[in-house]
Amino acid sequence: VGSFCTSLWQCYFEYSTPKILVIRSFKVGTLNRFTQALVIAYIIGYVCVLKKGYQDTDTVLSSVTTKVKGIALTNTSDLGLRIWDVADYVIPPQEENSFFVLTNLIITLNQTQSRCPESNSTGFYCTSDRDCRVGLRDTRGNGVQTGKCVNYSADVKTCEVWAWCPLEMDAEPPVPPMLGDAENFTVLIKNSIRYPKFNFNKRNILPHVNTSYLEHCVFNRITDPDCPIFRLKDMVTEAEEDFQTMAVHGGVMGVQISWECNLDMPSSWCVPKYTFRRLDNKDPVNNVAPGYNFRFAKYYKNGDNQETRTLIKGFGIRFDVMVFGQAGKFNIVPTLVNIGAGLALLGLVSLIRLHWTYFYKAPF
C-alpha cells in the first residue's frame, strides 16, 4: 500500500512533455508564422470586431400601439357625400401589432334575409324549377336554393336563393380607389422595447422629441428621421409601390423597426431604424387572387324590428409592424469562452503543422 501511495503521489507531480526539436527553416517558419497571424487576425477581426464575441446578447421584447389620423371624402350615387374617419376605416379598431386601413370598397345597402335570384356570375342558370335543387348550398353560391327558377333579368333566369338580399354585385373594385385620400393619412407608431437581460428600456419617441414637434412632424428619412409619425403614401413609396395602384385591390405592407444596439456605447446611440416593404407577393406573371380584401357588415333594425345590414367588401392595406433587434453588452463569460477558443485554435495550428510535417515525410 505504501508503495502504491508513493506511486500515486509521484504520478500527481509527474507530467509528460514531448521531446522538442527546434528547427530553423525560412520556409516552414514563415508558413508557421503566417498561419498564426491568420488565426490571430481571424480572432481579432471576425470574432471580436465583427461578431463582437466579447459581448453577451439579448433579443428584443416589444410592444406596439398605433394611431391613424386622417379624413377621406367619397361621393357616390349610393351613399351621397360621405366623410370617412378613423372609426370608419380602421377595422378592427385595435389589433396587437397590425392595423388595417380601408382604401376601396364595394357596398351593398339594405340587405335583408329574403329570397332573390342567384347572381349570374355563379352559373346557376335555369329554365324551369327542375334545374334548381331545394336546399343546395354551393360554395360558389350566395345562399341556399329554394328550388324555384326566377327571372334574374329580362332574358336570363337563375335559381332563387334564400340569402341576404339584394346580393352583392360581383364586380371589380372601383378605379381610382374610393378612399384614395388615404394616401395622406398619417399613423403614429408607438413602440416600446426592452432588453430584459440588461434591464434596458427605450421607446421610439426619443427623449429630445417634444409634444409640439410631435404635433406637426411627419417621418422623412433625411429631414425628420426621428419622427414616429408616418404618412401612408411615404411608406408605400419607400417599398417601391404606387399607393393608388395598391389601394385598388389592397395588400399587406411590412413596417420593420430594427433596434440593433451596442449597449457598451451611450444609450442615446441605440435608435430605431425603419424600413418598409410589401409583404404580399405582387408577382406580375402569377397574378392569381391579388390583393387583400374581406367582407364585413353593419347591422341595423328597421321599424318593424326586422334585421337589415350594410355589407361592405373592403379592400385595403394591412400594415404589419415587425420589431427586430439584438443588443450586446460586455460580459466576462463570452469573452473568456472566445479567448479560450482562440487560444485552442492557435494550439491546433501547431498540431496541424505537426501532422502536415509528418505526412510530408511519410513513405509515399
Which of positions 192-211 make contact with its own copies (CB under 8 A)?
A: 192, 194, 201-203, 205, 207, 209-211
Least separation in angstroms between CB 262 and its own copies: 21
Distances (CA, A) of 339 to 39, 42, 145, 343: 12, 12, 76, 6
252 contacts its own copies (rule: CB under 8 A): yes
- Choose the binding region for its own copies from 51-59, 70-78, 124-132, 237-245 (rule: CB under 8 A): 70-78
**87 or 154: whose CB is closer to its own copies?**
87
306 contacts its own copies (rule: CB under 8 A): no
**2 or 93: whose CB is closer to its own copies?**
93
**117 or 143: whose CB is closer to its own copies?**
143
**96 or 155: whose CB is closer to its own copies?**
96
In the block, residue with C-alpha cell 372601383: 174
**CA 39 – CA 42 distance, rounded (Å):** 5
**54 or 292: whose CB is closer to its own copies?**
292
Q: Which of 76, 220, 267, 357 touches its own copies by CB under 8 A?
A: 357
* Subset of 11-50 contacting its own copies (CB under 8 A): 11-26, 28-30, 32-33
- Do residues 159 and 130 lie in contact, with contact meaning Cβ atoms separated by under 8 Å? no
- Do residues 239 and 277 lie in contact, with contact meaning Cβ atoms separated by under 8 Å? yes
**CA 244 – CA 183 distance, rounded (Å):** 8
The tally of CA atoms less than 13 A away on the side-chain side of residue 194 is 7
185 contacts its own copies (rule: CB under 8 A): yes
Q: Which of 124, 230, 292, 315 touches its own copies by CB under 8 A?
A: 292
Distances (CA, A) of 149 to 38, 118, 137, 140, 146: 85, 9, 15, 17, 9
* Subset of 125-184 contacting its own copies (CB under 8 A): 135, 137, 139-144, 162-164, 181, 184
320 contacts its own copies (rule: CB under 8 A): yes
DSSP string, 276-294: EEE-S---TTS-SS-S-EE
Distances (CA, A) of 23 to 26, 278, 347, 358: 10, 64, 18, 15
351 contacts its own copies (rule: CB under 8 A): yes
Annotated binding site for ATP: 67-69, 186, 293-295, 313
DSSP at 41 = H
Torsion of CA 93, 96, 102, 103, to 10 degrees: 150
- Choose the binding region for its own copies from 97-105, 149-157, 238-246, 266-274 (rule: CB under 8 A): 97-105
Q: How many residues bind its own copies (CB under 8 A)?
A: 128
